[in-house]
Amino acid sequence: MARATGRRKTAELSALAPILVIVGMKREAACAAGEGVTTLCSGANVRRLRQALDALGGTDFSAVVSFGLAGGLDYALRPGHVVVADAIVGGDARRDTHSRLSSVLMKGAAAAGCKVTPGAIIGVDEPAMNPGAKAALREGAQAVAVDMESHLAEEFARRRDIPFVALRAISDPAARALPPLVAKALTPEGDIHALGVARELIRGPHQLGGMIRAGLDSRAAFVSLSRCGPLLGPLLRLVLADL
């Protein structure tokens, strides 16, 4: 009986369409890569992400995950703290994520040794670069974190009528301002634009201190993403097979 049940579960998992994991950077995609997972990288560009999602056409997916770095809006969240969204704010709308899948991600992140909290994530079209912009988002949306992919990822999942969840690791905390060159630090493919960063530092060497701080913050965030990313496929697919 147990062997038959195991074979049935294996067959159910094999029949599942892949999970679409939407990220902003290739390094985030590398953290999430695994069996049953398809990653889509925006290069931190909303227009490009919309085009990439439209280009997927009728490709089947079993669920959508927004995954990667986020800016902190809640002052209690430090670099590396993981937020599993209970809601996504986009424009004037606030929509809940899939509660069962989110609960599984919460438990998985905690078991992986991460500090994790539930909360709303707001998706924006332009980065929140300073504490004032973050405070306005926090007060207006009652959100704890901000990114540039979750609102479009949630919209895509809703159009497909498939489950959606978001797991994000805080990089820049609420009180931290980012140097302007951060907005130019990625290539369209989501890689670090090393030459572009070097050019901007030559033009504005005063940004070096801010870049060093941002690098240390993102390092803490990527430690958490490297722990949580490998769990996405195995944990979510087990639950999806029972939905």
Question: Which SS3 state, helix, strand or coil, does residue 147 take?
Answer: strand
Average confidence (pLDDT) over 94-113: 98
Q: Are 68 and 149 in contact (CB under 8 A)?
A: yes
Q: With contact defined as beta carbons under 8 Å apart, do 118 and 166 qualify?
A: no
Domains located in the chain, CATH noted: 2-240 (3.40.50.1580)
The tokens of 77 are what?
Answer: 């969240």
**Average pLDDT of the segment spanning 52-56:** 96
DSSP assigned state of 106: H
User: Does pTM surpass 0.85?
Assistant: yes
| pLDDT band per the 50, 70, 90 thresholds, residue 13 | low
Q: Stretch 224-233: mean pLDDT, rounded?
A: 97
Q: Kindly indicate the confidence band of residue 35, based on its pLDDT and cuts at 50, 70 and 90.
A: very high
